[in-house]
Structure 1
Amino acid sequence: MIVLGCNGFSRVCGIFAERFGAVGTEKHYLLGHDAGAALLVDGELVAAVEEERLNRQKKTTDFPVNAVRWCLDQAGLEFSDVDLIAVPWDFSAEVLDGMLSDITAAPMVPAAKLDLLSGIGELFTGAVSHDAILADFAARTGFTPDPDKVVFVPHHLAHAMTGYYMAGMKDAAFLVSDGRAERYSSLLGEIRDGRVRVFDESTIGAHHSIGLLFAAITRFLGFVPNNDEYKIMGLSGYAEPPVPNPFLEDLVELHEDGRYSFSRPLETDNPRGLDALFEKYFGPFQDTLEYTARVAAAAQEMLTVVTSHQVRALEAKTDLDHLLFEGGVALNCLNNTPLFEGSRFEDMHVSFGASDTGITIGAAVHAWVHHPDGAGGRKSAPPVTPYLGPEYDDEAIEQALRECAGRVEWTRLSDDEVVTRVAELLTEKVVVGWYEGRIEHGPRALGHRSILANPAFPDIKDIINTRVKHREPFRPFAPLVLESDAPKVFEMGRKTRSPYMTFVFPVRPEFRDVIPGATHVDGTSRVQTITDEDTPRLAALLRRFTALTDVPCLINTSFNVAGEPIVCTPSDALNCFLGTEIDYLVLGNRLVGKAGTS
């Protein structure tokens, strides 16, 4: 069985701009962002890519025409070969009725209520209803799908199935939390033999979304909502949360069954509706590290309290011992470690597709598992790798290099020579672009489109932030470490691995002066563990580098600059290399330098 997962809408961005004023940094605020496609063939995930990697528009909401075509081409398939098309949204007539009821009951003046009802009506008929999605697919691909072969999967169930599949399809409890789905923002439940049970009494509506509240705080501090929340994580390390915490004292209320609410519900049509409240709590906004860090620390503590409350309720509702945490809130890796360590669950899994990047995978899995001819009695999934996107052969690399003739110089090396030469270069204070194989899926670079550096230099973080990434100086960097070495360097607690940078651990005191460039101000690091099986050449590089330096980690950050998607093609990599102060570029088996430098 062949299942194509597809997320993205041609008109969402335009409708949000016209009807809700969502332009600029607001345009990917609510739904359709992280557009992409995924392909499942007889239960095996053979291809997945985000549309932004191909159309070069970060967090694009557009219909993923390029991603869909690439997935099919990668597998040598035509549209007529596809058995099911899975969409990770289900804006049914019943959902619309619920949305309209929510608006009708909201405490709004009649004129604003009528305007919002009209906007939601246009959004539904013009972009997100079943008929609109089918028409959009036909218009953008030239293929008209059979409506009986299109499966509309509720958004949060797609998130849950993403985690379920990537964790090996074993029975598990789940917490899904993000900004909002069709009507809700968070679900608790469990998956047994592929069947999803939602604990309805624990469901959180969109007007009390911890994800949207965190996005509102992100916006208040001058960052891009639904994109820059990780900056709040980084900032929170520079301050202690205030006592008492006004978010917990005045805004958030915890209830039975893991529910919570806000004393002042969110106005989802007015993203700055809480700014005055934030200024009441913290004083007028000041663009200073002291002010922003204090707000960030309060927000981070609030998130931890709310999600811990949900997990405690989940523990009481299920006898399962494995926890899946999915949705955009699950990318708050600073929260994930204490969340797991404070639980009774034996393990906690946060996938590389926890945000909306992964919902095409989850939707495809949901459609496959629940189809009579799908998973059947299958009890496990094939091993899953994040390296699911396009790769480019020697001819494409050579062509890209020729197009940069006169600006770059390069040498072709064997795999062993690449490892040896780059390890030697990294003993110095240099920055290396590392490009190999298929591009990784998800928001984090995991070693195929990465920027590498030596964490032994205390100022290497400043060099990368200012000269390469062009971003805020407070931003930390993640260390990659061999899985076998990780417990020696970091206080891993009950975790044994962190392959997707979804957990943060304290750096052991004896290593804080060894890897200062990868140690945050609070003494922690967002760790990526690697193995020879997952990334053989990168593991060999790290092993060789450690032998030369006695430093057991390398800095790994995404190969891009602020505001741009991670590089995809060889030309993307070369453009980023030439437009920044990256010193060297490994492009497949070519070691590339800038013309005129030694």
Structure 2
Amino acid sequence: MVIVLGFNGFSRGAGLFARHYRATGIDRHMLFGHDSGAALVVDGRLAAAVEQERLNREKKTSAFPLDAIRWVLDEAGLALGDVDAFAFSWRFSDEVLNAMIAEIADGDGTADQKFGRLKRLTSIYEGMFSRAAVLGDFEEHTGFRIEPERLRTVPHHIAHLMCGYGISGGGDTAFLISDGRAEWLSAIMGEIRGGQVRVFDDASIDSRHSLAMLFGVITRYLGFTPNNDEYKVMGLGGYAEPAGTPPGNPFLEHVLELREGGTYRIPYHPRAVRAYYELFDRIFGTGPEGREDFALRVRVARAAQEMVEVATAHQVAALRARSDLPRLVFEGGLALNCVNNTKLLEESGYDEVEVSYGASDPGVAIGAAFSVAHEAGDALVPPVSPYLGPEYGDAAIEAALERYAGRVRSRVLDDVAAETAALLEEKVVVGWYQGRTEYGPRALGNRSILANPRFADIKDIINTRIKHREPFRPFAPIVLEDIAPDVFVMGKKRTSPYMTFVFPVQPAHVDAIPGAAHVDGTSRIQTVTREGNPLMAELLAAFTARTGVPCLINTSFNVAGEPIVNAPEEAIACFLNTEMDYLVLGRRLVTKA
């Protein structure tokens, strides 16, 4: 049996990037190690995992994951001394560092400017990237000294790959990994055959031509937070006419250059924000004063979405030509673009496209641990539930309610599913807090806000009164897997358990669930089985039996800018600080005093 602790996060990352690269304010997420977390794999089985943000309450934190490490070990009844290997989700090898140094040496600027960049790289390397820095960081925070041979560094893209590979059940598969940047590259492709990973190196994209970083600059241009709000751009693009408004795509004409072999080039460095803003203003015929115009923002967002679709389709076509495997694992931050995922599935020729609940950087802690276990010869054990984090029992819930005595009232429900379904018949918003915390950026039915989708204005109610976010944002439906194809046009998919694909609503159900459909008639669905989440499946069955409505709105239990709630106290605080109508906290129905 091999016990592997996977982790991601740099304690000094935020300070170093703020000092050297001004990564603060709107750019505060543009650094290495964000979405820190920890995962424990025992004998090939993912035993526990939690994101550090759920415990320190700092969204997308890059902090050293001390709380997460402590929790996963406590959950398994283990100590640091029991761990056989410590898997860190970054590897800054000599090859990587040589490439980074060469980029500086070959780049524009004077000798003094280049030496300044080298000094910054040296500071970052010594403070974060070197093995000595990783070992020192771990010992400083935990008091435990890892024997150097027990620290296994895993290339960031391979950690992404092994997260998706393990969660999807392993087996032979082609893969595409695309994110902002790993150590040096921004995208890789290849295949896993017979358990052996083969990267097609000539098709890799270096970070100077990062599609995801360009999408982040567009996100910033539209007034959102880069490396955080890209999904808002995807949603905003849905307001455009299907062919774009007006015809033509300035990004495809002036920015993205497709090349042979599935590669592409982007003419400006992704950090050159000012140059990009000037370019975008020119090609879209606007200026700083016109960037707030909704029609322009929709046009830019739709063009950006189409650019992502064209670039990834170009990569996947090249991958299909080199690998005859019928299945694709797609991971990395760009794989959270669920509109693109569905098009890849339906148009690429693959029988299956798999995108996990850990596709973005929360998943690399899992993937690093899976990678080391796989190399050690352990078979990765499917299925891998997303419900991997802390669970709080009746005693903890009672204690939390006692702390809020005078502000809330509560009673024990005789039948949690049936009585919650009865509440949801009306135009109400219900906080739903059950079982173990989900892993990843989506609420998957245990830390959720629920509502009845038959009310067309329920989206406005949740956006303005609960979530405090932009009014154009859509909401996702949660539906029983066995009836999902009757409600949504699922194409090749029969299951979508992680909200990573979108599907058109079947014509017969369009009028029944207006609150769960985007303006373009699609929904980013989560399918649920009785085996995977028995209580949620029971609630859905009871709700449908009472109302004839086949799904519920499911959005994450938080407000804008905050992590999804974890502990009962956080659920109660969120409930009290919003206009939620009810909170179902375990077996307790909570109302405001």
State TM-score, norm by structure 2: 0.97
* Structural mapping, 1:536-547, within 5 Å: 536-547=534-545
Provide the rounded CA distance (Å) in 1 between the counterparts of 2:465 and 2:16: 38
Which residue among 239, 256, 268 is the counterpart of 1:265? 268
Q: Which residue of structure 2 lines up, in the alignment, with residue 568 of structure 1? A: 566
CA separation in 2, counterparts of 1:335 and 1:57? 29
Other structure's SS at 1:151 match: strand
Distance between the aligned counterparts of 1:226 and 1:397, measured in 2?
34
Q: Which residue of 2 aligns with 1:353?
A: 358
Preserved CA contact (<8 Å) 1:498 1:527: yes
User: What SS does the corresponding residue of 1:45 show, helix, strand or coil?
Assistant: strand
Q: Deviation at 1:169?
A: 1.1
The offset of 1:548, in angstroms, is 1.1
Residue in structure 1 matched with residue 347 of structure 2 by the alignment: 342
Match of 2:399 in 1: 399
Structure 2 vs 1, CA of residues 250 and 384 (structure 1 numbering), >3 Å: closer, same or farther?
Answer: same
Whole-angstrom distance in 2 between the partners of 1:341 and 1:31: 33
Whether 1:255 aligns to 2:253 is no
Name the counterpart of 2:115.
114
Alignment of 1:92-107 (within 5 A): 92-107=93-108
1:156 Cα deviation from its structure 2 partner:
0.3
| Residue aligning to 1:246 | 250
The equivalent of 2:320 in structure 1 is: 315
Which residue is 2:531 aligned to? 533
8 Å contact kept, 2:50–2:388: yes
- Counterpart of 1:169 in structure 2 is 170
Q: Does 1:200 align with 2:201?
A: yes
| AA partner of residue 248 (structure 2) | P
Preserved CA contact (<8 Å) 2:40 2:73: yes
SS of 1:593 mapped into structure 2 = strand
Aligned-residue Cα RMSD (Å) equals: 1.1
Deviation at 1:96, TM superposition (A): 1.3
**C-alpha displacement of 1:107:** 2.4
In structure 2, the partner of 1:443 is 441
Is contact 1:171-1:193 (8 Å) kept? yes
Give the secondary structure class of the aligned counterpart of 2:362: helix
Give the Cα–Cα distance (whole angstroms) in 2 for the partners of residues 99 and 572 of structure 1: 42
Inter-partner Cα distance in structure 1 for 2:391 and 2:225:
30
Q: Which aligned pairs between 1:98-247 and structure 2 lie closer than 5 A?
A: 98-240=99-241, 241=244, 242-247=246-251
**2:306 equivalent to 1:301:** yes
Work out whether residues 237 and 521 of structure 1, in 8 Å CA contact, stay in contact via their aligned partners in 2: yes
Partner letter of residue 392 of structure 2?
Y
Is the Cα–Cα contact under 8 Å of residues 214 and 270 in structure 2 kept in the other structure? no
Q: Which residue of 2 aligns with 1:385?
A: 385
The AA in structure 1 aligned to 2:549 is: V
Local SS of the residue matching 1:356: coil
Q: Give, in angstroms, the shift of residue 509 of structure 1.
A: 1.8
* Equivalence map 1:80-91=2 (5 Å): 80-91=81-92
- After the TM superposition, which residues 404-443 of structure 1 pair with which residues of structure 2 at under 5 Å, given as runs? 404-414=404-414, 417-443=415-441
Aligned counterparts of 1:423 and 1:16: Cα–Cα separation in 2: 48
CA displacement at 1:109 relative to structure 2: 4.0
Aligned residue type for 2:409: E
4+ residue runs of structure 1 moved beyond 6 angstroms?
none
The partner residue of 2:335 within 330, 334, 340 is 330
Indicate how the Cα distance of structure 1 residues 132 and 409 shifts in structure 2: closer, same or farther if over 3 A, else same: same
> Does the CA contact (< 8 Å) of 2:164 and 2:356 recur in 1?
yes
Report how far residue 115 of structure 1 moved. Answer: 2.1
Partner of 1:593: 591
Unaligned runs of 5+ in 2: none
Partner residue, 1:30:
31
Give the equivalent residue in structure 1 for 2:554.
556
- C-alpha separation between the residues in 1 aligned to 2:249 and 2:238? 16
1:267 Cα offset (Å): 4.3
Q: Equivalents in 2 of 1:531, 1:340: separation in Å?
A: 22
Report the identity percentage.
Answer: 58
Q: Is the Cα–Cα contact under 8 Å of residues 216 and 272 in structure 1 kept in the other structure?
A: no
Matched residues in 2 for 1:272 and 1:518: separation? 38
Structure 1 unaligned spans of 5+: none
Q: Please give the per-residue CA displacement for 1:206-237, whole angstroms capped at 9, x wherever unaligned.
A: 01011000000001111011110000011001
User: Is the contact between residue 332 and residue 360 of structure 2 (CA under 8 Å) also seen in structure 1?
Assistant: yes
- Cα distance in 2 for residues equivalent to 1:395 and 1:37: 26
Partner Cα distance (1:198, 1:465) in 2: 43
Amino acid at match of 1:25: I
Aligned pairs, number? 586
Deviates more, 1:559-568 or 1:22-31: 22-31
Please give the alpha-carbon distance, in whole angstroms, between the structure 1 residues aligned to 2:120 and 2:206.
20
Query: Which of 497, 500, 518 pairs up with 1:499?
Result: 497
Q: Is the 8 A contact 1:30 1:180 kept in 2?
A: no
Distance (whole Å) between structure 1 residues aligned to residue 358 and residue 541 of structure 2: 28
Whole-Å separation in 2 of the counterparts to 1:561 and 1:154: 34
In the TM superposition, what is the alpha-carbon distance from 1:98 to its structure 2 partner? 1.3
1:94-128 alpha-carbon deviations (Å, 9 max, x no partner): 32121010111122344433322211111011111
Q: Which amino acid aligns with 1:390?
A: P
> Is it true that 1:60 corresponds to 2:61 in the alignment?
yes
Quote the offset at 1:272 in angstroms. 4.4
The one-letter code matched in structure 2 to 1:77 is L
Shift of the alpha carbon at 1:273? 3.9
Q: What is the one-letter code of the residue matched to 2:406?
A: G
Q: Which residue in 1 is equivalent to 2:456?
A: 458
Which structure 2 residues correspond to residues 515-526 of structure 1 after superposition, within 5 A? 515-526=513-524
**1:509–1:108: structure 2 CA closer, same or farther, 3 Å change rule?**
farther
CA contact (8 A) 2:453 2:516 kept: yes
Q: Is the 8 A contact 2:13 2:31 kept in 1?
A: no
Contact 2:9 2:36 in 1 (8 A): yes
Judge which range, 380-389 or 556-565, deviates more.
380-389
Q: 2: CA distance between counterparts of 1:271 and 1:8?
A: 26
Q: Which amino acid aligns with 2:345?
A: F
Work out whether residues 267 and 273 of structure 1, in 8 Å CA contact, stay in contact via their aligned partners in 2.
no
1: distance between equivalents of 2:196 and 2:103? 29
SS of alignment partner, residue 471 of structure 2: coil
Contact 2:23 2:31 in 1 (8 A): no
Question: For 2:283, which of 275, 281, 297 is the aligned residue?
Answer: 281
Residue 243 of structure 1 deviates from its aligned partner by 2.5
What are the superposed Cα offsets for residues 149-181 of structure 1, whole Å, 9 maximum, x if unpaired?
Answer: 111000001111111101111110000000000
| Cα distance in 1 between the residues matched to 2:316 and 2:427 | 43
Query: What SS class does the counterpart of residue 301 from structure 1 fall into?
Result: helix
Write the distance in 2 (CA, Å) between the matches of 1:323 and 1:267. Answer: 28
Task: Using the TM superposition, give the Cα deviation of residue 76 of structure 1 relative to its aligned residue in structure 2, in angstroms.
Answer: 0.5
Whole-Å separation in 2 of the counterparts to 1:112 and 1:281: 31
* 1:92–1:130 contact (8 Å) kept in structure 2: no
Q: Distance in 2 between matches of 1:139 and 1:271?
A: 36
Alignment deviations for residues 261-316 of structure 1 (CA, whole Å, 9 cap, x no partner): 11x23143x44441111111221142132121110000000000000000000101
**CA distance in 2: counterparts of 1:184 and 1:265, whole angstroms:** 16
Q: In the alignment, residue 444 of structure 1 is paired with which amino acid?
A: R
